[in-house]
Amino acid sequence: MCGICVPYCPTFALSRNEADGPRGRISLALGLAEGTLAANPDVVAHLDGCLTCRACESVCPSQVQYGALIDEVRGALAQNVFSATTSLNESTQPKAAQHRWTLWRNRIFSQRQTFGRLWAVLTFFERMHLGGFIRRFGGRFGQALPPQTPSRLPRRFRPNQVANLQPANAKKVGLFIGCTGESLNSDAVRASIRVLNALGYAVEIPKVQVCCGAMHQHGGDLERAAALRAENRTVFGGADLTALLVIGTACAGELLREANSVPVIEITDFLAEIPDAEWSPLPPNPARVAIHLPCSQTRMLKQPASTERLLQKIPGLKIVPLATNNRCCGAAGLHLLMYPEQADTLRTPKLIELNELKPDFVVSANIGCATHIAAGLGAPVVHPVELVAMGL
Ligand code: SF4
Ligand code: SF4
């Protein structure tokens, strides 16, 4: 109740409504749990509008576990557990239909095949020189598309591929590529394989890996999220790996929720930790690079320095600090599609800063943020490992 977290909340900063801030949302959750508050559409909207950026949690002096709390309350809303305990007036039924849609939405967007098909359609339109038409008239989906022209059809990484097997003493790592690894994010996957091979690692990418479950976890489908994590543990657990490397800070945070038999490490952090002596010298690159820090990297993984430490391995690179890295960019999983106006407003300060600084590259270790910023900037945002791979 101290309110220290409130000024750090991006959604509170937009509406100045207590119910759109962490303290207000905790009060709403308390009211629902005690049965003094109905799960009506207004209440649901205030809880649903949270970005799960956890800026509030990182400053709370009482160490309130806000991230776990909002996941739990959304899970309870999705299962209608509050409907029988409401005691206040009018239409108290929760938006059951909306929650059913949320569950289906998460399941649709957490399929590699879905992204692959969408990417194939976009590639076709681009080749017909109709990409601009999709971006202009494709509604929110069109606006959310990054500016890069897909030059290749979705990349299908072969089942149980071991990339460029190294000599017998090579260490073998697994690569978790996420739902977008064969479409939106395939350049980062290719770059990761190249860099890891150059460092003497064989890379295994099991085709049967599934979504990390982040969208389900934050969308109230906790059971499905846990099932997906368990499936990935089984897939990678029996593969005789030194480590499971994850492309995407949000996916890494999600897979780290539970203990795994193989160490799970976000790839930027893994590469940054490899001593300089094990790297072949990278050629100098005098480019200016701005690093966008995803909330999942700073507040879930608590590794805000990984990207900079990795990029420091490239001689001559100039890192341009971003003052807007203390605030969520607005992507927040599917938030950019479900709350487009809010997502765009939250992105604006980042775009203003980048347009003033004019760096040669913008990097982000999370594909959701990268896509959202690239769509607003009209220029690519790449994964840091892609910059490293350029020198190989
Ligand atoms: S997680 Fe982010 S958006 Fe949600 S209440 Fe906390 S600071 Fe606000
Ligand atoms: S979550 Fe923490 S910082 Fe925010 S009001 Fe409660 S005790 Fe204070």
Q: Is the CB of 30 under 6 A from ligand 2?
A: no
User: Is the Cβ atom of 9 under 6 angstroms away from ligand 1?
Assistant: yes
Asked if residues 234 and 282 have their Cβ atoms less than 8 Å apart, the reply is no
206 and 174 Cβ atoms separated by less than 8 Å: yes
Helical H segments across 110-138, by residue range: 112-127, 131-137
Q: Picking from 80-89, 303-312, 354-363, 366-375, which range would have the lowest pLDDT averaged per residue?
A: 80-89
Of the pLDDT bands very low, low, confident and very high (cuts 50, 70, 90), residue 79 is confident
Q: In angstroms, what is the span from residue 337 Cα to ligand 1's centroid?
A: 18
Query: 89 pLDDT exceeds 90?
Result: no
Separation between Cα atoms, residue 224 and residue 221, nearest integer Å: 6
User: Mean pLDDT, to the nearest integer, of 8-20?
Assistant: 97
Ligand 2: which atom is nearest the Cα of residue 6? 4
Least-confidence region, from 27-41, 118-132, 230-244, 334-348 = 118-132
| 305-331 per-position pLDDT tens digit | 999 999 999 999 999 989 999 999 999
Ligand nearest to the CA of 11: 1
Average pLDDT, the chain: 86
Ligand 1 atom nearest to CA at 25: 5
Distances (CA, A) of 178 to 193, 207, 228: 15, 11, 12
Atom of ligand 1 nearest to the CA of 5: 7
- Give residue 216's pLDDT band: very low, low, confident or very high (50, 70, 90): confident
The pLDDT, as a whole number, for residue 159 is 42
| Cβ of residue 4 lying under 6 Å from some atom of ligand 2 | yes
Q: Is the CB of 50 under 6 A from ligand 1?
A: yes
Round to whole Å and give the CA distance between 322 and 253: 23
What token pair was written down for 83? 């409907």
pLDDT at 221: 85
Does ligand 2 lie within 6 Å of residue 25's CB atom?
no
Fold of 278-390: Rossmann fold (3.40.50)
Give 183's contacts (C-beta < 8 A, 6+ positions apart): 112, 115, 116, 118, 119, 154, 155
Measured CA to CA, the distance from residue 101 to residue 103 in angstroms comes to: 5
Q: How far apart are CA 336 and CA 346, in angstroms?
A: 10
Is residue 17 scored above 90 in pLDDT?
Answer: yes
Rounded to the nearest angstrom, the distance between the alpha carbon of 26 and the centre of ligand 2 is 9
Spatial distance between the Cα atoms of 92 and 232, rounded to a whole number of angstroms: 39
In this structure, are residues 243 and 262 in contact, taking their beta carbons and an 8 Å threshold?
yes
Instruction: Find out whether the beta carbon of 103 lies less than 6 Å from any atom of ligand 2.
Output: no
Residues 57-93 as b or e (16 or more Cβ within 10 Å = b)? bbebeeebebbebbbebbbbbbbeebeeebeeeeebe
H helix count then E strand count, the chain: 20, 8
pLDDT category, 233, cuts 50, 70, 90? very high
In the chain, CATH 3.40.50 covers 278-390
* 235-265 residue pLDDT tens: 898 778 999 999 999 999 999 998 888 999 9
Confidence label for 223 from pLDDT (cuts 50, 70 and 90): confident
CA distance 176 to 244: 7
